[in-house]
Amino acid sequence: MEQFTGKVWVLGDDIDTDIIIPTEYLALKTVDDMKQYAFSPLRPELAGLIQDGDIIVAGKNFGCGSSREQAPEIIKHLNIKCVIAKSFARIFFRNSINNGLLLIEHPTLYDVVKEGDTVSVALNDKITHNGVDYKINPLPDNLMEIINAGGLVKAMQKRNGLR
Amino acid sequence: MGMTIGEKIIARAAGVESVKAGEIHTVNLDYMMSNDGTTHLTVDMFHNKLKKPRIADKDKLVFIVDHNIPAENPKTAAAHRKMREFAKEHGIKFYEGKGVCHQIMVEDFVEPGQLIMGADSHTCSYGALGAFGTGIGCTDFLYGMVTGKSWVMVPETIRFNLTGKLREGVYPRDLILTIIGDVGANGCNYKVMEFAGEGAHNLSINDRFVLCNLAVEAGAKTGIVEPDEKVVEYVESRGRKADNLFVSDSDAVFEKVYEYDLSKIEPVVARPDFVDDVIPLSEVGEVKIDQAFLGSCNNGRIDDLRVAANILKGKKVHKDVRFIIAPASNSVYLQAVEEGLMEIFLESGAMVMNANCSVCWGSCQGVIGEGEVLISTGTRNFKGRAGHKDSKVYLGSAATVTASAIAGKIVGA
Amino acid sequence: MGNTLIEKIIMKNTQKANVAPGEIVTVNVDRVMIHDIFIPFVADKFKEMGFTKLWDSDKVVLIYDHLVPTSAVEDVRHFQIGDAFAKEHNLKNFHKADGICHQLMTECGYAKPGDIVFGTDSHTTTYGCVGCFSSGIGYTEMASILGTGQMWIRVPETIKVRIDGKLPENVTSKDVILRLIGDLGADGATYKVLEFSGSAIDEMSVASRMTMSNMAIEAGAKAGLFAPDEKTCEYSKVKMEDVAWLKADEDASYVREMTYKAEDFVLVCACPSQVDKIEAVSNLKDIKIDQVFIGSCTNGRLEDLKAAAEILKGKKVAPFVKLIVTPASRSIYLEAVKAGYITDLVEAGAMVTQPGCGLCCGRACGILTDGERVVATNNRNFLGRMGTSKVEIFLASPKTAAASAIAGKIVEA
C-alpha cells in the first residue's frame, strides 16, 4: 500500500476554480506556463513556495466552479502529492481522478491541522497527524481502475491498443 | 500678405493680427481632449511633478474613454478609474464608452476656427469643420491643462486643390490613401494639408473627416478642409456656432500646391506595414484574410455603415473570416439601428461591437494572432498594430473591407 | 417504488428497467459541446488517447464564445486549433461568433428533452431547463467521449424543490435560484440533482427556467431539471406525446424535499465573494456601484433585455457608472434590435457588446480594478472573477441590475 508524508498548506472553504487558476491565464499555451499563477487571487505567493510532495488541506467544497481541468492539472504540476478536504466539488473530483491527482475526503482533519504541519497518508487507509490516526474511506472500484491505469488517457490508450 | 486657413486660426488663438510660417506663438486653446491611451500618465504627472497643481479652465477639458472600453484587463481598468476619479474631482467633461474620442469631439464640441489640442495623433480630424486640431503628448497636455495655453510654430501650408467628383464605388478613403501614397508618410511633415476647391466642397462633412483624420499619416500637423455652408449647417444643427469660417486669402503663401481630379481616383489599398505603401486594389493579387474591420475615427460613421450594409444585405460573411463592426459613436450606432443596418450586420454573421476604437487600436477587441491577415478601415497598418508582431494589416475603404469579408480575400465591391 | 426525473432519463438511455442512486452506469451520450477555451486540450488528449475518428461527428458541437472577440494575441491559437479539428472531423455543428455555448445548445435544438449531454463547461447544467440531463466535464473526459460515445456516471440522488403560488412583482427566477443556493449552500447539492416543480415553476418561461438550471451548479448540483411542458415542447420543437414519459413518479424517492411559497420570495443579491451569501436587496443600504453588467448564459436572453430596457427607457445610467449589456446570442441581439430594446438601452447610456462570455468569464468586455464594485446578472462572484481580487461582485436579476444602474447604487427594481 502506498504511503507518503508531506508538509501542509492550509486553504479555506469553497476554494473555487477561479482561485486555483483565474480565467485570465487559461489561454496560455501549457499548464506549466499557467502554474505560477495558481491560487493568485487568494495567495499570489503560494505557487512559488510549494515544494515537491507538499500536501494541501482545505475545508468544504474544494474545486467548486468551472469545469476547467487546468485546476487539478496545475496542482499536479506543482507536485502537490494530494489534496485533503472536507468535501470536493464534483467536476473537480472527476477531473482530478482522470489526471491522477489524489484527493482524500476527511471530515475533521481540516479543523486540527495547521499550516506547516506534517501529515502522513496510507492510501485508502488512514492519515496520521501529530501521532493521531484518522481513518479514510477507500475510493470506489471504478475510480481505482482509472487511477491504477494511471489516469483516463492511459486507460483509453490501453483500450485503443497503444499500450 | 495674405494668410492661409491654418495661419488665420493660429493668429486668432494667439490674439494677433497676423502670423507667418516659422514664427512661434503662444496660443489660447479652445479645447483640450485626452483619452484613455495616456490620461492616467498625465494625471500622475499632475500629482507628482507640479508644485502647485491647478487646472486653468475645466470647461475646456474633455476626457474620453474609448481605446480599451470595456476594459479587457485590470490594468486598463485601473487607468480608466484614475481618469474617472480625476474628472469627477475636477468637474471635467467625461465620456466613457460613448464612442471614439474624435467622433465625440466633432459631434459635441468642435467649432470652425477653433484651435484644439488632443493627446492623440488623429486630433487632426477637426479640420473637417474648419478647425485646427493637432495631436500632442501628455507633457504638452499637462502644460495646457495647467495654463490654458500652449505654443505652436506656425506650419507651412500645402494646398490640395480638388476638382470633380469621386466615381461610384470610390470613396474619400481611397482619395486620402492615394494622396498619402503620392506624398509619402512624411511628405507633409509639420505642414497643414489644406483641402480646397470645388472637389472639396462636393464632399460631405463625413467625407471630410476621412481626409483630415489621416493627414497625420502623411506627417502633417493637421488637415483642414476649406469650410463652407455644409460646415455651418452641421455645427448649427447641433446647437453650436459657426462664427469663424476662415478661408485662405488669394495671396496666401503655400509651400506647394497639388491638383487632384477626384474622378480619376480609383479604389486602393495600403499594404502592410506602411500607410504610404498604396497600390490600386486591382493589383493586390490573391490575399486571403482572417479578419475584417469596419470602424474607427476614420471610417466608422453612418455613411460607412450604409456602404457596408448595402454590400452585405442578403449575404453571409465568409466562414473563415471574423468581421468586426464598431460604430464610431453611440449616435452612429443608434442611427444604424434606426435605418435597419444593424439587422443586416447581425444577419450576415458580422460581430457588432459597442462604439469604441476596437480593432484599430489593436489591444482590446479583435486582437489578431500570429501570421494572420486583417483588412481594416482603421487609421494605421504599422507592424503589429492589430495584434501579433507577425500579423499583417491592409487598409481599404468600407466597401473593400466589406466585400473582402464576404469573399474571404481582398476584393473590390 | 417510482423514479425521479434523472432516473427516468438514465433508464431510457441505458434501457434498464430501473436504476437507483449510487449505482454506476455507462450512458450513451446524445450530444457533446466543446468551447474555444478547451478545444486545444480536448484535441490533444483525443490524439494522445489514440483516437483518430469521432464516434459520431453529428453529435459534436463546437462553439467559440469565451474568446469572442479576441482580446489577446494568443487567443487566436484556440481558433486555429478548433478550425483544424472541425475540418479534420467534418464538424457541421460549429459556431464561431453566434453567442454563448449554453444559449446556442438549446436555441439551436442541440439539447432536447430526455437527452444526455455533456460539455466542457460547468454551466452545461443549463439544458435541464428543457428536461435534458446535461452536466459539465473536463477535457480529458470529453476526449474519451469523443472516441467512445460513452461515459460512466454514478446515478445521483435528487433534491425535490417545489414552489407553488405566484411570485411577487419584479421577483424573477434569478431571485429564486439565488435564494435556493443560499438555503442549500454552495455545496448543498453536491453530486445531486435539483428537480424543480410547482405552480410557480409551471408559470415560468423556458428562458426563466434556464436561469435556474444554469445556476444549479453553484449549489454543486450535477443537474437542475424541469419536466417538459407545452412551453418546452414549443421551444424545443418536440411533441408532447413524445416526451410524456419524462416526468417524475408520484412515489419517487428524494434525498431531500424543499417546499416554498412563491409569495415569500424577495429581490436578492449574492454578495461578495460567495454565490451562497444571499442578502435581500432591501437590506443593502447605500452600496454605491461603479459598473453594471447585464448578460451571460444566466441572464442574457430576450426577456432579460426587455426587463432591463423597460426600466431604463427614457432614463439615464448614473454619472460615472458604466452599463455593459451582452446579449447571450446573435439571434437574441437581433430580436432585441427589432423590438427596440437595444435602442432604449443605448439611449440610456449602455454599451452593447457582441454576444459572448466576455466579462462573466473574466477575460474581456468590462474587467474591473481594485476598489470597484459591480452588480452583475451572471452566475459567479468568486474572488478575482472579473478583475482583481479587490473587486466586489454582487449577483442580481436584470431588473435589480437595471434599477441599480440608474440609481448608481444597489436598489430594488
State the CATH architecture for C268-407: 2-Layer Sandwich (3.30)
| CA dist., res. C275 & res. A72, Å (int) | 22
CA distance B115 to B134: 8
- Cβ of B78 under 8 Å from any chain C Cβ? yes
Decide if C367 and B72 are in contact by the 8 Å CB cutoff: yes
Query: Residue A138: pLDDT band by 50, 70, 90 thresholds?
Result: confident
> Measured between CB atoms, which of C50, C138, C382 is closest to A67?
C138
* Residue C41: alpha-carbon gap to chain centroid: 23
A141 or C395, higher pLDDT: C395
Partners of chain A (3+ Cβ pairs below 8 A): C
Q: CB of C7 within 8 A of CB of C155? A: yes
- Cβ <8 Å between C343 and B97: no
CA distance C145 to chain A (A): 10
Q: Could you give the CA distance from residue B306 to residue B376 in angstroms, rounded to a whole number? A: 16
Among candidates A14, A19, A99 on the partner chain, residue whose Cβ is nearest the Cβ of C384: A19
Residue A110 C-alpha, separation from nearest chain C C-alpha, in angstroms? 17
Question: CB-CB: which of A60, A153, A160 is closest to C140?
Answer: A153
CATH superfamily of C5-262: Aconitase, domain 3 (3.30.499.10)
Q: Which three cell numbers stand for residue C198?
A: 410547482
The helices-and-strands tally (H runs, E runs) of chain A is 8, 7
The residue ranges of DSSP E strands in C16-75, in sequence order, are 24-28, 31-35, 60-63
Q: Give the one of C346, C358, C369 whose C-beta lies nearest to B77's C-beta.
A: C369
The interface residues of chain C toward chain A in range 47-66, judged by CB-CB distance below 8 A, are 48-51, 66
DSSP label of C170: T
Mutate to test the interface with A, among C141, C184, C275, C392 (most CBs of A within 10 A): C141
Pairing of strands A118-122, A3-10: antiparallel
Please tell me the distance in Å from C340's CA to the nearest CA on chain B: 9
Which of the listed ranges A28-32, A157-161, B21-25 does the model predict with the highest average pLDDT? Answer: B21-25
From the CA of C187, how many Å to the nearest CA of chain B?
Answer: 30
Please tell me the CATH code under which domain B269-407 is placed: 3.30.499.10
What is the C-alpha separation between C269 and B32, in angstroms, rounded? Answer: 42
Cα-trace Rg, chain A? 15
Asked if B71 has any chain C CB less than 8 Å from its own CB, the reply is yes
Please list, residue by residue across C67-102, b when 16 or more beta carbons sit within 10 angstroms of its beta carbon and e when fewer do. Answer: bbbbbbbbbbbbbebbbebbeebebebbbbbbbbbb
- B75 Cα to chain C: minimum distance (Å): 7
**Is C365 close to B98, i.e. CB distance below 8 A?**
no
Return the residue matching grid coordinates 449574492. Answer: C270
**Architecture of the domain made up of B5-262:** 2-Layer Sandwich (3.30)
Q: Quick check: A95 and C138 CB within 8 A?
A: yes
Distance from CA of A127 to the nearest CA of C (A): 24
Question: What domains are defined for chain A?
Answer: 3-138 (3.20.19.10)
Q: How far apart are CA C32 and CA C258, in angstroms?
A: 31
Instruction: Please count the other Cβ atoms lying within 10 Å of the Cβ belonging to residue C200.
Output: 22
CA-CA distance, B366 to B360, in Å (whole number)?
9
Segment B378-392, tens digit of pLDDT? 999 999 899 999 999
Instruction: Read off φ and ψ for residue B239, nearest 5 degrees.
Output: 75, 20
Please write the tens of the pLDDT for every residue from B75-125.
999 999 999 999 999 999 999 999 999 999 999 999 999 999 999 999 999
Sign of CA dihedral A153, A155, A157, A160: negative
Bridge partners (DSSP) of residue B258 are B160
Distance CA B339, CA B287 (A): 33
From chain B, the residues in CB contact with C290 under 8 A are: 81
Cell representation of residue C347: 439611449
How wide is the angle at C-alpha B131 spanned by C-alphas B127 and B136, nearest 5°? 80
Q: Return the exposure string of B326-362: e unless at least 16 CB atoms fall within 10 Å of the residue's CB, then b.
A: bbbbbbbbbbbbeeebbbbbbbbbbbbbbbbbbbbbb
Q: Shortest CB distance from A98 goes to which of C77, C140, C186?
A: C140
Q: Are the folds of B5-262 and B269-407 the same?
A: yes
Q: How far is C380 from chain B (nearest CA, A)?
A: 18
CB-neighbour burial class of residue B247 (10 A; exposed 0-12, middle 13-18, buried 19+): middle
Cell of B33: 481632449
Residues of chain C with CATH 3.30.499.10: 5-262, 268-407
What's the pLDDT score for residue A1? 65
Which of C44, C46, C49, C194 has the most A C-beta neighbours within 10 Å, making it the best mutation to test the interface with A?
C49
In chain B, domain spans: 5-262, 269-407
Question: What is C321-377 written as a DSSP string?
Answer: -EEEEE-SBHHHHHHHHHTTHHHHHHHTT-EE--SSSGGGGTSSSS-B-TT-EEEE-
3-state secondary structure at position C196: strand
Residues C201, C258: Cα–Cα separation, whole Å: 14
Q: Say if C260 is an interface residue toward chain A (CB within 8 Å).
A: no
* CB contact at 8 A, A85 and A57: yes
Where chain C has pLDDT below 70, the residues are: none
**Number of C-alpha atoms within 13 angstroms, CB side, residue A35?**
17
B94 to chain C, any CB pair closer than 8 A? The answer is yes
Q: How many CB pairs below 8 A link A and C?
A: 139
Q: Is the pTM of this model over 0.90?
A: yes
Residues of chain B with pLDDT below 70 are none
* Mean pLDDT value across residues A53-68: 95
Tell which of A60, A76, A91 to mutate to test the C interface (max C CBs under 10 Å): A91
The pLDDT-based confidence of A29 (bands split at 50, 70, 90) is: confident
B324 touches chain C (CB under 8 A): yes
